[in-house]
């Protein structure tokens, strides 16, 4: 069985500050890893994913995440956040596509001016 | 945006009444999923379907049933709604689960309140 732990339920930051949202997973097999974002009153949408290859993956809006196999982590980072990044972020894991996705409980990113 | 429509978007009902939520897709994707989202629990899988008439249980399937008679429609039924089923329900679709990208496309959600 696989599981995901998002260590922070809420992360408040000021605009233009850096941020890191933490995600740890457990699985007995190799995994695919994902970050989804949910803006208020909307469904989730994919932010970025790790399938294989380079352990550092990036999104089009400046977020990046690094797959660390030894620490079983997939933390999400952004060097400078904007007000518009305020949303809930979900980390998710799949055992290489052979199972359904398991989601973490989410981290609410609150960006203030 | 992926063509996923959930209906109704909002519903208030009373304990003990049956409720059906509908998910309709125009993408012809094989896999369809129903999740519920609750504060402090994230998203939890209720049921999913891997083809017409092919469904399987997720981690929180008790009290729910599903049906898929056409590729484009996936129905979630609460036979006798309880207050613990008050939640936001999301439908999701994916092209393939096995060795695919794993990307899910989500609908906008259906907010159900059971009084």
A3-33 pLDDT, tens digit per residue, is: 899 999 999 999 999 999 999 999 877 888 9
Chain A interface disruption, residue of B10, B104, B110, most A CBs within 10 A: B104
**Residue of B45, B100, B106 lying closest to A44 (CB–CB):** B106
Does B19 have pLDDT greater than 90? yes
CB contact under 8 A, B42 and A90: yes
Indicate the pLDDT class of residue B1, thresholds 50, 70 and 90: low
Does B84 have pLDDT greater than 80? yes
As a whole number, mean pLDDT of residues B13-39 equals: 94
Secondary element (H or E) of residue B94: strand B87-94
Write the CA distances from A84 to A14, A32, A48, A110, integer angstroms.
12, 27, 17, 10
Looking at the DSSP bridge assignments, the partners of residue B13 are: B114
Share the mean pLDDT of chain A: 91
By C-alpha distance, the chain B residue nearest A10 is B40
DSSP state of A84: G
CB contact under 8 A, B43 and A49: no
Indicate the pLDDT class of residue B99, thresholds 50, 70 and 90: very low
Indicate the pLDDT class of residue A52, thresholds 50, 70 and 90: confident
């Amino acid at each position: 069985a696989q599981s995901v732990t998002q260590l922070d339920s809420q992360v408040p930051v000021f605009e233009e500050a850096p941020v890191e949202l933490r995600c740890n997973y457990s699985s007995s097999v190799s995994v695919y890893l994902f970050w989804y974002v949910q803006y208020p009153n909307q469904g989730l949408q994919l932010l970025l994913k790790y399938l294989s290859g380079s352990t550092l993956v990036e999104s089009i809006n400046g977020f990046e995440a690094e797959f660390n196999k030894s620490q079983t982590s997939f933390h999400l980072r952004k060097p400078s956040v904007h007000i518009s990044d305020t949303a809930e972020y979900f980390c998710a894991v799949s055992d290489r596509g052979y199972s359904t996705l398991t989601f973490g409980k989410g981290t609410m990113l609150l960006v203030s001016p | 945006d992926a063509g996923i429509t959930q209906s109704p978007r909002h519903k208030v009902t009373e304990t003990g009444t049956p409720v059906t939520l509908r998910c309709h897709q125009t993408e012809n994707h094989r896999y369809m999923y129903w999740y519920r989202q609750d504060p402090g629990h994230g998203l939890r899988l209720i049921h999913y379907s891997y083809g017409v008439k092919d469904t399987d249980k997720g981690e929180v399937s008790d009290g729910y049933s599903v049906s898929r008679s056409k590729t484009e429609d996936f129905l979630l039924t609460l036979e006798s709604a309880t207050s613990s089923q008050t939640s936001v329900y999301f439908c999701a679709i994916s092209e393939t689960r096995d060795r695919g990208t794993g990307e899910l496309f989500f609908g906008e959600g259906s907010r159900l309140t059971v009084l």
